[in-house]
Amino acid sequence: MYNNSRNDRSNSRGGLLTEKSNSKSQFLDQLATSELVELFSKEDIEPQKAVSEAIPEIIKAINLIVPRLKSGGRLFYLGAGTSGRLGVLDAAECPPTFCSSPELIQGIIAGGVSALIKSSEALEDQESLSIDDLNSRDFCTKDVLIGITAGGTTPYVTSALAYAVKIEALSIAISCVPIKDVALPCKVDIRLLTGAELLTGSTRLKAATATKMTLNMISTIVMIRLGKVYGNKMVDVSVTNTKLYDRAIRILQEIANLERNEANELLKLTNGSVKLSLLMALGSLELENAKDLLKDKDYHLRPALEKLSST
C-alpha cells in the first residue's frame, strides 16, 4: 500500500493541467477504432504548439548549457517514470550520433537501470534519493541539471532542482503545467503546455511527446554548438556498426568528392574520424598535421577548413 508521510493524500492534484479531464475524450471507451486514431492524431498537434511557445526559454537553456560543457561541465537529465526514461534515452543516443563521451550527457531515473523496464512509481516520492543519485556521479557547480517532471510536483525531481540551485549548478526545469499552478526552483523554466490528456492524467502521451521533442532539440543544438556537425552532417559520428560506417563513407564522398575506396582508406588511417579524414583529403595533410589543425580550432571542422582555404 502507498505510504508517504510527507504528502497528505487528501490534497488533490486535480487542479493541475496535466490531471484535468479532456472534454474531447469524454466518451473515449465508446468510440470506434477509426475515431480513436483520428482523435489521437489530431491531439498530437498540441505538443508541437507547446514546444513552439516555449522557444525563448529553450534558447536560453541552450545558450547557458554550451559554455558549461565547454568548460568541463556535464549535462544530467533527471526524472521518474516516463520523464526519467526520456532523459535516459536522449543521453544514450548522443555517443553514437556525436561521438561524445558517455560522461558528457547522462540520464538519471528514479530506481536506476531496472526502472527502465519495470515501473517503480513509489521511488519518485523520495526527495533524498535524487540527491544521492547526483552525488554518486560527483555532480558539482560546473554541471547542468535538467529536471523533468510533467506535473511539476515530483519530489524526486523538485528536490534535485533545489539542490542544483543551492550549489549553484545550472538548473533547468521541464514541466507541462503553468507557472501559476506550480513553482519550480530553477534558473531556466521550460513550460510545455500540452493541455489535458485524452486519457486523463496519462502524461506518457502529449506531455511526453513534447518533452522528447524538447530534449531532441536541446541535445542536438548543443552538439552543433560544440562542433559536432558540419552543414547538416554528423561529422563526429561514431563508426561502430555497418550503418554508421556507411554513413561516414557517404559523408566523405559528398564533402570531399572521394571514391568509396579512398574514403575507406582514410577512415582506416584516422581510426574512424570523419573530421580528420576530411581535413586530410581537402587539405592534402598528413595525419599529425590534421590533428594539430583540428585541435588548434577547438575541434570545429569549419574553422579548420577555413584556415586551410586561407593558406
What residues contact residue 97 under an 8 Å CB cut-off, 6+ apart?
Answer: 223, 234, 237, 238
List, by residue range, all CATH 3.40.50.10490 domains of the chain.
31-225
Told to judge if 286 belongs to the known catalytic residues of this protein, a careful annotator would answer: no
Burial class (CB in 10 A: 0-12, 13-18, 19+), 210: buried
Residues 290, 9: Cα–Cα separation, whole Å: 63
Superfamily of 31-225 according to CATH:
Glucose-6-phosphate isomerase like protein; domain 1 (3.40.50.10490)
Q: What is the pTM of this model?
A: 0.90
What single-letter amino acid sits at 148? I
59-81 in b/e burial notation, b at 16+ Cβ within 10 A?
eebbeebbebbeeebbbbbbbbb
Catalytic residue, candidates 124, 197, 262, 306: 124
Specify the fold of 242-310: Helicase, Ruva Protein; domain 3 (1.10.8)
Told to judge if 57 belongs to the known catalytic residues of this protein, a careful annotator would answer: no
List, by residue range, all CATH 1.10.8.1080 domains of the chain.
242-310
Catalytic residue, candidates 19, 93, 259, 288: 93
The pLDDT profile of the chain, 311 residues, written as one tens digit per residue, is 333 334 444 466 767 888 888 889 899 999 999 999 999 999 999 999 999 999 999 999 999 999 999 999 999 999 999 999 999 999 999 999 999 999 999 999 999 998 998 877 778 778 899 999 999 999 999 999 999 999 999 999 999 999 999 999 999 999 999 999 999 999 999 999 999 999 998 899 999 999 999 999 999 999 999 999 999 999 999 898 999 999 999 999 999 999 999 999 999 999 999 999 999 999 999 999 999 999 999 999 999 999 988 87
